[in-house]
Amino acid sequence: MSALIPDTPRLRGVLSPVLTPFNPDYSPSAPRFVAHCKNLLEQGVGLAIFGTNSEANSLSVAEKRALLDALLEAGLPAARMMPGTGACALPDAIELTRHAVSAGCAGVLMLPPFYYKGVSDEGLYRAFAQVIDEVADESLRVYLYHIPPVAQVGISMGLIERLLKAYPKNIAGIKDSSGDWSNTEAMLKAFQPQGFDVFAGSETFLLRTLRGGGVGCITATGNVNPGPIAELYREWQSDNADTLQAGLDAVRNVFQKFPMIPAMKAAIAQRAGDEGWATVRPPLVELTAAQRASLEDGLASVNFEIPGAQTLALPK
């Protein structure tokens, strides 16, 4: 059984798909990872470790287990964690989900099996159902991960409806990274009233999602701009909300001119004074020197900074 207290509050607000720092040999750098997660929590952002921007599908099951354990051993609260546990292989998804639940994580973010394209809702239903049935824990809270621009395998409204009917205690919500506001809006209208929590997949849609009844966002740039994104979540009903949203959009627009993961890592490396942060695991590659210079020019134009960046460097 899990260590999750039954009345643990459901996840809300802003979560970051936490970047995974690597050593020169491409092994995960646990000390940097723990430091980064601590800083994110201090900025008011939860931890969606092993998401897309974590390079999660370039990590092994053993590496993910070890990194989660490193966070727990460092005393970071499992109640603020939503590890990504979806995988193409069912045994991997089951193992990762079971480990997250036993650790007391507040939820898991679950990709559909994504290697085979054009699969049916029936096949996807069986995959999610098998994980839930094998873990067999009422405290398991699954947040579906809809990211068709990357996975090319989406989660339909019909599939959500069927899963909610079959597993009302386990299916908790969704991260919608479709980039299609009409899709997010449809989910909000159809399922949020049933207690199915909708997270936007980018802070670009945070204000609209909150105004539509959603619960927050799980966003890449939560890694590098956590405080201001969390501020909008807190202040979304204020007169200043649209101005705050515009500020978030300006920062994101700088980063998304480049490959996002290498760009965010380069920004951290620059501000932490630790070039090790710029390392990405193949098949990704680091930004070129010219790209980094252009990124820094763009960030200077929006007065960008990372509070606590000095704590992210690997101790010498």
Say if 287 falls within a structural domain: no
Annotated binding site: 218
The DSSP secondary structure of 64-119, one letter per residue, reads: HHHHHHHHHHTT--GGGB--B---SSHHHHHHHHHHHHHTT-S-EEEPPP-SSSS-
Which of 38, 64, 145, 233 is catalytic? The answer is 145
Confidence of residue 316 (pLDDT cuts 50, 70, 90): low
pLDDT at 315: 75
Confidence of residue 4 (pLDDT cuts 50, 70, 90): very low
Say if 114 falls within a structural domain: yes
Instruction: Give the number of domains in the chain.
Output: 1
Residue 36: which of 300, 316, 314 has the closest Cα?
314
The CA distance from 43 to 215, in Å, is 18
Residue range 169-181: mean pLDDT, rounded: 97
Would you say 5 and 42 are in contact if contact means Cβ atoms under 8 Å apart?
no
Q: Annotated catalytic, 145?
A: yes
Q: Hey, how many other C-beta atoms are within 10 angstroms of the C-beta on 247?
A: 18
Say if 312 falls within a structural domain: no
pLDDT exceeds cutoff 50 at 6: no
Confidence of residue 7 (pLDDT cuts 50, 70, 90): low
Say if 119 falls within a structural domain: yes
Say if 174 falls within a structural domain: yes
The CA distance from 248 to 94, in Å, is 36
pLDDT exceeds cutoff 70 at 73: yes
Q: What does the CA dihedral 42, 45, 51, 54 come to, rounded to 10 degrees?
A: -40
pLDDT exceeds cutoff 60 at 5: no
| Residues 6 or more apart in contact with residue 239 via CB below 8 angstroms | none
Residue range 85-97: mean pLDDT, rounded: 98
Residue range 286-301: mean pLDDT, rounded: 98
| Residues 6 or more apart in contact with residue 310 via CB below 8 angstroms | 271, 272, 273
In the DSSP assignment, the letter for residue 263 is: H
| Residues 6 or more apart in contact with residue 227 via CB below 8 angstroms | 43, 44, 307
Domain extent at residue 47: 13-226
Provide the phi-psi class of 55: left if phi over 0, else alpha when psi is between -120 and 50, else beta: left
Confidence of residue 9 (pLDDT cuts 50, 70, 90): confident
- The total number of residues written for the chain in this structure: 316
Say if 188 falls within a structural domain: yes
Q: Hey, how many other C-beta atoms are within 10 angstroms of the C-beta on 230?
A: 21
Say if 315 falls within a structural domain: no
The CA distance from 212 to 194, in Å, is 14
Q: In CATH, what number is assigned to the domain containing residue 54? A: 3.20.20.70
Q: Hey, how many other C-beta atoms are within 10 angstroms of the C-beta on 194?
A: 12
Tell me which of 275 and 8 has the higher pLDDT.
275
Please state whether the peptide bond connecting residue 113 to the residue before it is cis, i.e. omega within 30 degrees of 0. Answer: no
Annotated binding site for pyruvate: 218
Percent of the chain with pLDDT over 90: 96
In the DSSP assignment, the letter for residue 225 is: S
Say if 236 falls within a structural domain: no
Confidence of residue 2 (pLDDT cuts 50, 70, 90): very low
The whole-chain average pLDDT of the chain stands at 96
Which of 38, 64, 175, 265 is catalytic? The answer is 175
Residues 120-173 pLDDT 10s: 999 999 999 999 999 999 999 999 999 999 999 999 999 999 999 999 999 999
Q: Which two tokens stand for residue 2?
A: 């899990």
Residue 296 φ/ψ, nearest 5 degrees: -65, -35
Q: Annotated catalytic, 175?
A: yes
pLDDT exceeds cutoff 60 at 29: yes
